[in-house]
Structure 1
């Protein structure tokens, strides 16, 4: 594979680098780092301009990220759910990205390309959270440059070794393809195992919107908990009447104020009610057996046309 990449890079130069990076940033599962490393070896040998190589990499990545930023800006967090459903571990990636933005702000963009799963999510999240466009482009460009410099620089510094490895792989023939296939299968199997383990956490009974409304109408209103992130609450100020605002990592603060026999309904806005299910699982472990996630989360409540309150701005 490495020799093939070298041959293609020799023939098509910067075009293949631009196309590879752009398609990856638009969401196609196409490895980019190997291409950049090989291009770095070619730059070291004088076959490609190092400056031009960095420029096309940054440009292609910026184009892809800007497209996703604009989509996120237009469609909000709905696009995040769509993207997360495409991944091997969809149920927590939205919340993890939100958490990183809350902790690091725009500086998240400086490291996004180095964190698997974050690179594609971070641009539409920035758009959905209405982060300033010029600031987004500035930090994103720096992050891309750092990421590209590392990959290309690796190829530049170690080009003799990379070329030697390439020749050794060519000698292996079909054996090299077998090794690569086994490594890919092992990675996919690990990711599916992670997903299966997380799905076990989600495999608990939900309460429907209609069931919750019936409880409220009968005077048996449960304790309702909104565990969406602060950034999402700021973006979408709507909430179910009477909901308590408690972050997932602060779930224990609920315990001193609620009796174990109480009905508790937890909602979020994530795929499969993942965060709500996590909190319910934790509460059930402390004896709160009547805790349940709200099926469909806040979106289901809104779609059913029920009363909505808004947080103070």
Structure 2
């Protein structure tokens, strides 16, 4: 839709356009909402109109967050695993975001809209962890009000500049599309480069579940760090003989473990992304033998037939 057409549509029915745009964006559809909010704010007739726009934007955002909350409550960690698989950079595993969310609590929802990626996984994590629905909706509404209010308010205050920008963009739409295409290409190239770098990092030596079982029976048993998120641990139970660990607190999990003793990292991430990332971090910290478990938690279950491993501590 051209900007002139969008501007005309907003003049005719701004509330519906804002509601649908924000709802789709918050549900995960790759459509930008901030430009629409800026434009809608610049076209608002007065404070009352601005307030109505803010109300429908908050309502749309909360409806989307409520839907994600319900999905997380119904399907648990499987929703988070699915979101992780959709990421173009598997190294940014959902379990890391989940750990931060648990640490910060519902207050993190107030700023979630301003953090790319976090705003998508926070609502299903809250649902999977069975967080209080009333508190969740209140925090989600506060965060949506800040996010949408900032965009609408900026449009209102800078209405002349926004309108001038629209006219300029319409006059030079071809050039603007070229610039946007170049920016999108640069962003995609950067993401693909991150994926390529991750592929290179995958060259780190892994340990198979069979080898790990044998190592656990040896005289020098490895320390096994379980990097699965709290949601999955709560749903499936801890793995006996392992230590729960967070990516942001690896050294606390390792504790006084000697640097010359073997360590195995385990996650439930696509391509063992989180386990590889943690292993590399510990190797860089001076630990001599750190290997991610090949195939992660699912491979471990298949190898043990859900039989608890020996104590790795």
Name the residue aligned to 1:177.
177
Aligned CA RMSD, in angstroms, stands at 2.6
Q: Per the alignment, in what secondary structure is the counterpart of residue 239 of structure 1?
A: coil
Name the residue aligned to 1:140.
140
Name the residue aligned to 1:86.
86
Q: Per the alignment, in what secondary structure is the counterpart of residue 225 of structure 1?
A: strand
Name the residue aligned to 2:277.
278
TM norm structure 2:
0.87
Residue 6 (structure 2) pairs with residue 2 (structure 1): no
Residue 161 (structure 2) pairs with residue 161 (structure 1): yes
Residue 306 (structure 2) pairs with residue 294 (structure 1): no
Distance 1:279 1:173, change over 3 A: closer
TM norm structure 1:
0.87
The alpha-carbon deviation at position 19 of structure 1 amounts to 1.2
The alpha-carbon deviation at position 86 of structure 1 amounts to 1.8
The alpha-carbon deviation at position 71 of structure 1 amounts to 0.7
Distance 1:48 1:41, change over 3 A: farther
For the residues of structure 1 that align with 2:190 and 2:58, how far apart are their CA atoms?
Answer: 31
Distance 1:54 1:285, change over 3 A: closer
Name the residue aligned to 2:197.
197
Unaligned runs of at least 5 residues, structure 1:
none
Distance 1:250 1:47, change over 3 A: closer
For the residues of structure 2 that align with 1:92 and 1:20, how far apart are their CA atoms?
Answer: 27
Unaligned runs of at least 5 residues, structure 2:
none
Aligned length: 306
Quick check: 2:224–2:243 contact (8 Å CA) kept in 1?
Answer: yes
Q: Per the alignment, in what secondary structure is the counterpart of residue 201 of structure 2?
A: helix
Name the residue aligned to 1:24.
25
Quick check: 1:37–1:154 contact (8 Å CA) kept in 2?
Answer: yes
For the residues of structure 2 that align with 1:247 and 1:83, how far apart are their CA atoms?
Answer: 19
Quick check: 1:266–1:294 contact (8 Å CA) kept in 2?
Answer: yes
Distance 1:221 1:161, change over 3 A: same
Distance 1:83 1:208, change over 3 A: same
The alpha-carbon deviation at position 252 of structure 1 amounts to 3.9
For the residues of structure 2 that align with 1:64 and 1:286, how far apart are their CA atoms?
Answer: 42
For the residues of structure 1 that align with 2:90 and 2:43, how far apart are their CA atoms?
Answer: 37
Please list, as runs of the form range in 1=range in 2, the aligned pairs for 1:1-313 lying within 5 A after superposition: 1-43=2-44, 45=45, 49-216=49-216, 221-228=221-228, 231-232=230-231, 235-236=234-235, 238-252=237-251, 254=254, 256-258=256-258, 260=260, 262-285=261-284, 288-304=287-303, 305-308=305-308
For the residues of structure 2 that align with 1:8 and 1:48, how far apart are their CA atoms?
Answer: 19
Q: Per the alignment, in what secondary structure is the counterpart of residue 180 of structure 1?
A: helix
Quick check: 2:71–2:127 contact (8 Å CA) kept in 1?
Answer: yes
Distance 1:218 1:69, change over 3 A: same
The alpha-carbon deviation at position 288 of structure 1 amounts to 4.3
For the residues of structure 2 that align with 1:5 and 1:48, how far apart are their CA atoms?
Answer: 21
